[in-house]
Structure 1
């Protein structure tokens, strides 16, 4: 499903239309067949990925309890217990990133809490920080111990080219000419 196209279409809808659509989606998700189709694939103690809409990111958790309409999970990162909808559990490993096509910057749906991003401040200094909160029009970033609020349009992804910190092995390519190779 192409979420970028869906978001483009939704941007043309009225607030009332969006509200009606949300009500319809909620009604469909509350149908027992949707919940049962997820429940049959779950066991207490199982590790699962679930989508956290506040952080706009996948989280890792362990199932503690299966209730009629929701599951109780303990988040593996912070050990907090959450009551989540069965629909939030990502059983099929779906990609949760929504990529909006914009001329510059990032969109609200393209970042999550914990992502590292950069921006240029008013004094034209490049700043890099971790997202600690997602707001409606801005993100809260922690940059070198200082908190910043920055509009999404000014954010850019940080690509770390230093692979050594990620536990990869550096190597080099050796080219061998077949005519000169020993037989």
Structure 2
């Protein structure tokens, strides 16, 4: 499924149409046949990948308990316990990246918590930082021990592997 095309269509829908669509999708996902099909492939103690919609990223987790409508897991990276819906589990290894065609910068669906991205600060200095939180219109970045709120439109991918954790990028060489 091409999520970029789906997002384009969704952006043209009204809020009411989106609400109706979400209700319909939720009803389909809650049908016992979907839950049973996924549950049949899971076992307590199994390591799975699930999609965390808040972080917009895939996470590794260990299954602790299979419940009627949800799965109790412990996230491998943080050791936090979560109840997640069966449908959030990525059994087939599907690509979870949603790539938007943004006019400039990066879109909310193109970044994830923990990624390192760059931006130009107010003095037009190149900065980079690790994404700590995804907000509606901005990201919260950890840059050199400080928190920055930066618009998605101002973000870019980091190509220089030496620029990390809030350090200013090295000056560009003249050729």
TM over 0.5: yes
Structure 1 partner of 2:79: 79
State the shift of 1:161 in Å. 4.7
Q: Which runs of 4+ in 1 moved over 6 A?
A: none
Is 1:91 matched with 2:87? no
Aligned residues: 162
Structure 2 partner of 1:42: 42
State the shift of 1:101 in Å. 1.1
Is 1:155 matched with 2:119? no
Query: Superposition RMSD on alpha carbons, in Å?
Result: 0.9
User: For 2:49 and 2:161, how far apart are their aligned partners in 1?
Assistant: 28
Structure with higher Rg: it is: 1
State the shift of 1:68 in Å. 0.6
User: For 2:77 and 2:26, how far apart are their aligned partners in 1?
Assistant: 28
**1:87-126 matches, cutoff 5 A:** 87-126=87-126
State the shift of 1:160 in Å. 4.5
Return the TM-score normalized by structure 2: 0.91
Moved more, 94-103 or 67-76: 94-103
Which structure 1 segments of 5+ residues have no match?
163-183
Q: Deviations over 1:116-164 (max 9, x none)?
A: 00000111011100000000000000001010000101101113557xx
